[in-house]
Every structure is written in C-alpha cells, then in structure tokens.
C-alpha cells in the first residue's frame, strides 16, 4: 500500500469547499492507502502566533469535523503536528536546501505575501521568517512519514513542487533517501461561494459549514446569487449562471433535471427553488451533524483517537529521523 500524507490547518470549522475539495476525497482514499492526516497546528501558528487560543480550540473542532465527514481512525492516522518534534528538527536541516529567493518566488507564498502587504502595508514587517519558511516545514511533514501521494487542493501544488525540489537536493547531497511525492487533485478542486465568488471563506460569509444550523443555512442560501436577468417569478432563466443551481448539483441529485428544466422554462420561482435547496442541504448534512453530536458528547473518544494517532505517527517520524541523521553524518553516539 502506498502512503498518503495530507495536512490541514486548524483555524476554523470545515465548510463545503473543504469537503468537496479535499476531505471527501480523503474518505475514499483511506481504503486504498496507508493514510496520515496531520492537524497542522504549527503551520497555523505561522499566521496566528498571536492567537494561540484560536488554534488550540480548532484542533479539536477540526478533528470532530473530519470524523463526522467520514475519516475513520482505524484506517487513517490523525496526528497533531506540534507533538512530533522531529518535524521541527527536519525543517532545520531542509532549510539549508532552499534559497530565500526561491521561497519568495513560490506562487502560493507570493500570493499570500501580496495579501499580507495589502492588509499591513508595504513595510515587509508582516512577513516573518517563520511564515516564509512554512513550505520547508511542509516538506518535512511530507517526507518524515514517507508521504508518496499528497491529495490536496489546487492552491497547494506549488508547495508540493517545493517539496520535490528539496527531496531532489537532499538525495543528491546526502544519498538516495526520500521518494518525490506526487500531488493528487480531487475532481472538484475549488468550490465557488454562494455569492458566486471564486473564493469561499468564513470571512466572506459565502460558505456553508458542515456544522451550520438550519437557520444559518437558511440565511446563507436565501442570500445566494441567481440569474440577474430573472426579474419575475415566472421569467425563464439560465440555471448555469445561478449559484442555487450550482449547489443543487452537489446535494440534489434525485431531481436535478427537473430543477434545470423548470428554471429554463420559467416554471420555477427562485424562492421555492432556494427553499428546496435548504431542505436538501440540511438532509445532506444531517448524518455528519449526528456524528458530530456523538463526538461532542464523547470528548474522551476524540482524545483517544488523537493520542493513538500521534503516537503511531511519532514512531514513524523517529524511525525516519534515524535514517536521516545517519545520511547526514550527525549520528554521533549510536
Ligand atoms: N498547507 C496546507 C493548507 O494550508 C496544510 C498542510 C500542512 C499540508 N502540511 C501539509 C497539506 C502536508 C499537504 C501536505 O491547507
């Protein structure tokens, strides 16, 4: 069985974009791969070092979201990044193998630095050493656990490429040690927000969270963007530019053709169409929310999953680190 390593930052609850873009895929893959899922709290801290409470709280929230969405701890090893000090150790050795300018040219980092400058001004102060180095730390995440296949969203491709470069460099200097990881994209790489925005996010208010209540779902769906040329209830419209239809396609597969045709023929009003979407969305999320409730009521089970997963991951990390120290000739007292 090949090994999958993937990671996710604990900065908030999962929304449908995370689900369709990544987690659904992980749930399918965990049957066929030796799967490691890292709760990337150290990486989350690169952006949230001044808000440790937020990261701490979201570790547990994220694990509950993952379990509710179908990640099975008997198939996937879920672990906490900060509890594996070998990742920090390997990050230091890897940091010699990448130049500062290469990191600054990494498309993902470049975009994120641009966003930071827009937020904090062009002082350069906003970009910390730790932030610039997170792709190096991510390379350590991947290689320490023998990650061969990395199922991620499109935005992560430059980070996987960065890892491949570091691996090549390491192997050429210290001898063949790691295999170059391959990215694996899911069918839906990026879900649009209910407002039609390409980016979905909590702060934009255009995302449905897996743990949203009926009222939250109702509010968000009622505000979704529809065909702007449809003025009256019985005007014919184009479902292909309507965000309500876009979401029907995800959660309403039983009568999708009817929805499409009625919209085009003008026999379907937007309000009733939205109401139908709300119902279908609620039904779609129901099994996940029931599971969430179970884990919320049994925090000791969540703890146990995290403790056991982290222990297993640590064993693997320690074993890999021994090989690395030997290759790098820093295995002094063995
Ligand atoms: N950078 C990823 C994100 O922001 C999270 C992550 C951390 C990751 N370590 C990883 C993804 C290792 C894949 C492999 O979503």
Residues whose CB is less than 8 angstroms from the CB of residue 109 and which lie 6 or more positions away in sequence, other chains included:
103, 132, 135, 158
Q: With bands split at pLDDT 50, 70 and 90, how would you rate the model's confidence at 334?
A: low
For the chain, give the longest Cα–Cα distance.
80
Residue of 24, 54, 199, 291 with catalytic role: 199
Which CATH number fits the domain that encloses residue 145?
3.40.50.620
User: Which one of the listed residues 116, 220, 230, 274 is annotated catalytic?
Assistant: 116
Sheet holding 3-8, edge to edge: 76-80, 34-39, 3-8, 149-152, 182-185
Q: Is 321 part of a structural domain of the chain?
A: yes
| 224 and 254 belong to one structural domain | yes
**Are 32 and 144 members of one domain?**
yes
Give the pLDDT mean for 259-264: 95
Q: What is the CA radius of gyration of the chain?
A: 22
pLDDT digits (tens, 9 = 90+) for 47-64: 999 999 999 999 999 999
Per the annotation, the verdict on 329 as an active-site residue is no
Tokens of 190: 């990026």
314 and 179 share a domain?
yes
- Report pLDDT digits (tens) over 174-183: 999 999 999 9
Known catalytic membership, residue 116: yes
Average pLDDT over residues 72-96: 98
Please count the other Cβ atoms lying within 10 Å of the Cβ belonging to residue 118: 10
pLDDT tens-digit profile of 2-54? 999 999 999 999 999 999 989 999 999 999 999 999 999 999 999 999 999 99
Q: Into how many domains does the chain fold?
A: 2
Record the tokens describing residue 42, joined without a space: 């150290």
Q: Is 232 a catalytic residue?
A: no
pLDDT at res. 123: 65
Nearest alpha carbon, ligand 1 atom 11:
7
Residue to mutate, 17, 36, 43, ligand 1, most ligand atoms under 8 Å from C-beta: 43
Whole-number percent of the chain with pLDDT over 70: 99
Asked whether 70 and 37 are in contact (CB, 8 A), the reply is no
Q: Where are the alpha helices (DSSP H) in 177-269?
A: 214-222, 243-251, 256-265
- The residue assigned the tokens 């990395």 is 150
Q: At 282, which CATH number?
A: 1.10.240.10
100 with 186, same domain: the answer is: yes
- Between the CA of 21 and the centroid of ligand 1 the distance, in Å, is 13
Give counts: helices (H), strands (E), the chain.
15, 5
Same domain, 146 and 219: no
In terms of domains, do 171 and 309 share one?
A: yes
Question: Does the pLDDT of residue 188 top 80, yes or no?
Answer: no
What residues does ligand 1 touch, defined as CB less than 6 Å away?
5-9, 38, 40, 43, 138, 141-142, 150, 152, 156
Q: What is the mean pLDDT of residues 58-79?
A: 98
Given a cut of 80, is residue 124 above it in pLDDT?
Answer: no
Query: What range defines the domain where residue 275 resides?
Result: 212-292
Considering the candidates 32, 110, 114, 202, report the single residue annotated as catalytic.
202
- What per-residue confidence (pLDDT) applies to 187? 77
Q: How far is it, in rounded angstroms, from Cα 92 to Cα 137?
A: 8
Look at ligand 1, atom 14, and give the residue with the nearest C-alpha.
6
The model carries a pTM of 0.94
Both 173 and 236 in one domain: the answer is: no
């Amino acid at each position: 069985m090949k090994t999958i390593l993937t990671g996710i930052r604990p900065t908030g609850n999962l929304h449908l974009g995370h689900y369709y873009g990544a987690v659904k895929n992980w749930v399918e893959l965990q049957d066929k791969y030796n799967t490691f899922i890292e709760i990337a709290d150290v990486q989350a801290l690169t952006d949230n070092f001044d808000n440790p409470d937020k990261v701490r709280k979201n570790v547990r929230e994220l694990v509950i979201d993952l379990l509710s969405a179908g990640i099975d701890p008997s198939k996937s090893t879920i672990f906490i990044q900060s509890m594996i000090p070998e990742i920090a150790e390997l990050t230091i050795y890897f940091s010699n193998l990448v130049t500062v300018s290469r990191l600054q040219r990494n498309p993902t980092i470049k975009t994120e630095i641009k966003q930071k400058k827009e937020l904090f001004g062009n002082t350069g102060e906003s970009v910390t050493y730790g932030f610039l180095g997170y792709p190096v730390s991510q390379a350590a995440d991947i290689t320490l656990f023998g990650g061969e296949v990395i199922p991620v969203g499109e935005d992560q491709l430059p980070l996987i490429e960065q890892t491949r470069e570091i691996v090549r460099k390491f192997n050429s200097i210290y001898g063949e040690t790691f295999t170059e990881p391959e990215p694996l994209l899911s069918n839906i790489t990026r879900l649009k927000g209910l407002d039609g925005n390409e980016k979905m996010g909590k702060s934009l208010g255009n995302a449905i969270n897996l743990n949203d209540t009926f009222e939250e779902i109702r509010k968000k769906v009622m505000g979704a963007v529809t065909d702007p040329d449809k003025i009256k209830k019985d005007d014919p419209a184009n479902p292909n530019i309507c965000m309500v239809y876009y979401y029907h396609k995800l959660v309403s597969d039983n009568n999708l053709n009817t929805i499409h045709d009625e919209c085009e023929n003008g026999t379907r009003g937007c309000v009733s169409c939205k109401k139908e979407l709300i119902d279908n969305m609620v039904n779609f999320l129901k099994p996940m929310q029931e599971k969430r409730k179970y884990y919320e009521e049994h925090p000791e089970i969540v703890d146990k999953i995290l403790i056991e997963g982290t222990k297993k991951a640590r064993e693997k990390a320690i074993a890999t680190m021994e090989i690395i120290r030997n290759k790098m000739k820093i295995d002094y007292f063995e």
